[in-house]
Amino acid sequence: MQLAFKGLPVPEAMQTPSAHVPVLALLLDATHMHQVVELLINHATRAMWHLPVDLPWLETNTGNQPAQTLSY
């Protein structure tokens, strides 16, 4: 699985409208991917960044759907 981040180029985007650009990409197995996402959500919540963290895939998977189809 790949976890990728994109963002705005700084300081150019502070002065003129800019498109998002790739910043970082990590290849992780599913277990580590979930740990990284959970860590980011926990720290974003504590920092009061008000990010949308009510995500349905964070709930325990009770169906027969394989974990590989979950999208982060």
Q: What pTM does this model have?
A: 0.58
In terms of Cα–Cα distance, which of 1, 58, 62 is closest to 27? Answer: 1
CA 53/CA 39 separation, integer angstroms = 12
Percent of the chain with pLDDT over 90: 46
Which residues are within 8 A (CB) of 25 and not within 5 positions of it... i.e. 6 or more apart? 2, 3, 4, 5
Residue 34 has pLDDT above 60, yes or no: yes
CA 8/CA 70 separation, integer angstroms = 27
Domain ranges across the chain: 2-52
Tell me what pLDDT residue 27 has.
94
CA 35/CA 26 separation, integer angstroms = 13
